[in-house]
Amino acid sequence: MRQKGFLFVIEGIDGAGKSTQVRMLLRKLRARGLDAAALREPTRGRWGREIRAKARQAGSLTPAQELDLFLRDRRENVEKNILPGLEKGRVILLDRYYFSSVAYQGAKGIDPGRIRRLNERFAPKPDLVFILDLPAARGLGRIEGRKTRDLLFEKERYLRKVRRIFAGFRGPRFVHLDGGREKRALGAEILALTLKKMGRSGIIFDHERRPEKIDHPHRQNR
């Protein structure tokens, strides 16, 4: 039996535009009357705050220590936020999820398959994962003006490895998109695919034209 709600994830390297797309998607879903909530990882909880503090210091954690902190933070997020939201029938949007752990800690030498198995023991699988692809140099260029920098992660050579791991995710739940596209056009495609997955096919997307409405007089509401 499937969960009552829906879980959608937006992934990609630093600077790919994940947070922007999550905010845009949240607004559009709420405007359609859907009960939607956005979460991000690392969280603002105990373990997430520790991750953020350590990330500002290069060499402050080993890859194994990083993974352990992310697992703790994610488990808490799943128990306190994700599963309760899904049980209430909400649409949960996640700015990063365990696929980031697979890519980021995998790029530091931990077996990506092992990381995924550890997470999928407790973390619900998403309905769709949007992976925004962008060259590492361009991603770093976008975040150059940030007040705080994550010195554990924001390095071009390292992010090239992370990008390759993200590119390797395959299967029906993964959607690879060009993160360098104009943000509104990209957001329109993400919205269309999200609504389609939810069975609300009043919007379709064609790569050659703008999204358009389609009337479904006999459509049943989910």
Number of structural domains found in the chain: 1
- Ranges of residues in the chain with a pLDDT under 70 are 1-3, 145-154, 200-222
Domain assignment of residue 208, yes or no: no
Model pLDDT, residue 59: 77
Residue 131 sits in which domain range?
6-183
Is residue 216 included in any domain, yes or no? Answer: no
What is the reported pLDDT for 148? 53
| Number of Cβ within a 10 Å radius of residue 33 | 7
DSSP per-residue string spanning 17-41: SHHHHHHHHHHHHHHTT--EEEEES
Is position 221 within any domain? no
Cis peptide bond prior to 84, omega within 30° of 0: no
In this predicted structure, what is the pLDDT of residue 54?
A: 87
- Residue 50: what pLDDT? 93
Per-residue pLDDT reduced to its tens digit, 43-80: 999 999 999 888 877 778 999 999 999 999 999 999 99
**Amino acid 146: pLDDT:** 62
Domain assignment of residue 215, yes or no: no
Residue 210 inside a domain? The answer is no
Helix 98-106 to helix 63-77 angle (10° resolution) is 180
| Integer Cα distance of 99 and 203 in angstroms | 28
**Nearest Cα to 94, choosing from 67, 66, 71, 125?**
125
Q: What CATH number is attached to the domain comprising 134?
A: 3.40.50.300
Q: What is the pLDDT of residue 56?
A: 79
Angle at 171 between CA 168 and CA 176, to 5 degrees: 60
Residue 103 lies in a domain: yes
Question: What is the structure's pLDDT at 35?
Answer: 97
User: Considering the domain boundaries, does residue 199 fall inside one?
Assistant: no
- In this predicted structure, what is the pLDDT of residue 207? 35
- pLDDT score for 72: 97
